[in-house]
Amino acid sequence: MTRGFPKGFLWGTSSAAHQVEGDNRNCDWWEWEQQPGRIDGGDTSAVACDHYHRYREDFALLRELNQNAHRLSIEWSRIEPSEGEFDSRQLRHYRDVLGELREQRITSMVTLHHFTSPLWFARKGGWTAPDAPRAFMSFVHRVIDELGDLVGMWCTINEPSIYGANGWITGDFPPGRHGDLAGQYRVTGNLHRAHELAYAAIKRRWPDAPVGLSHHKFLFIPASRNPADRLAARAAQAVTDRWPVGPAQLGRIVDATCDYIGVAHYWGQMCAFDPRRPREQFVRRFNPPGAEVTEMGWASDPRWMRGVLNELRRYHKPVYITENGIATADDSRREAYLPAILAQVHSAIEDGVDVRGYFHWTNMDNFEWAKGYTAHFGLIAVDRKTLDRTVKPSGRLYARIATANALSS
């Protein structure tokens, strides 16, 4: 049986500047990496994948694998190394990067904020500061003016719920706060405002360019039918979905300031009420028994994707899967995962969801934040000593699917 995807469907991969470029030392994440115990194995992004110098080679591989789209981020700390001072050399670099994607006939989706911020911004309070959106917009305006003619699509903010939760609830991201719900709310509120301002600015300058953002969608499942466990699951969902994925919030954002809905989905967890966990909203989270677990420690089930996408059908907007993948060093698991997850995407399209593209996380194994180099999401392996790239069997499989614009079974 052959399951075809819509004409013009985008088959791509996603990446983030800090995770692949290397030598990005002027941002809060670089400072964070220098603190003992923050990153598994003491890894740092000093070299990462050296994509900053090897982007032509990397984009040629994407073209070889017949990808027609790629999501990447522009590093704020390179463009604006000091407040109000812009680096023309770095702007020229990113013009070369985006120009190379165009030369390779690959549509770019450009993310303006993907977890990293300049040190000067972080030291002024980062995204908790009242004037954070205004400070961000100086960078945004410069990128719009200098690079906008080469951008296919815009993604203003990457996964605001993850950024807020990991930085102010779990402490896994800088600034490393724990249980600071008020701080998380300030951060997500400022990111909300920054998105709206960036959306308006882009549309004024480039009215035909699609603009959205990437929402991370968790699934939280009650551990039992007990009302307390059901409430615990709803509470966990409310915290992570507060903005912008919660139905009421998402509906308002989509109606006003999104041309498309971007959704990142990887995993789900069970939730049980636990009175001993006040700093975690009295919720104990754990993987469903028997579920496949990835190198990130996440439970992964491709069947969840169809339900995630169907939640978005009510908004009658185009949908792009901005991130999805599986962290495993066993590439045969990824070879099994890809057709399974894409079958669920196809089913959602048949259900009436207007899905127009799938961006696999990620094109090559990279610096996976707190996990360092211990988590392998890539379709392409990167030798940590030589940095040589080797396409994995899963990458060849993805290329065949993209070439056919269809799944065959």
Q: What is the CATH number of the domain that holds 347?
A: 3.20.20.80
* Cα separation, 391 vs 327, whole angstroms: 16
Half-sphere exposure of 159 (CA within 13 A, CB side): 22
pLDDT at position 248 is 43
Residue 63 CB neighbour total at 10 angstroms: 15
* Cα separation, 257 vs 250, whole angstroms: 10
The region, left, alpha or beta by phi > 0 then psi within -120 to 50, assigned to residue 23 is: left
Identity (one letter) of the amino acid at 58? Answer: D
* Cα separation, 213 vs 303, whole angstroms: 24
Q: What pLDDT, in 10s, does the model give residues 12-38?
A: 999 999 999 999 999 999 999 999 999
Q: What pLDDT, in 10s, does the model give residues 74-97?
A: 999 999 999 999 999 999 999 999
pLDDT at position 241 is 66
pLDDT at position 290 is 87
Q: What pLDDT, in 10s, does the model give residues 193-231?
A: 999 999 999 999 999 999 999 999 988 889 999 999 999
**Smallest Cα–Cα separation from 300: which of 349, 333, 347?**
333
Q: How many structural domains does the chain have?
A: 1
* Cα separation, 287 vs 308, whole angstroms: 18
Range of the domain at 284: 2-408
* Regions of the chain with pLDDT less than 50: 243-248
* Cα separation, 251 vs 244, whole angstroms: 9
Note the helical H segments in 258-330.
304-310
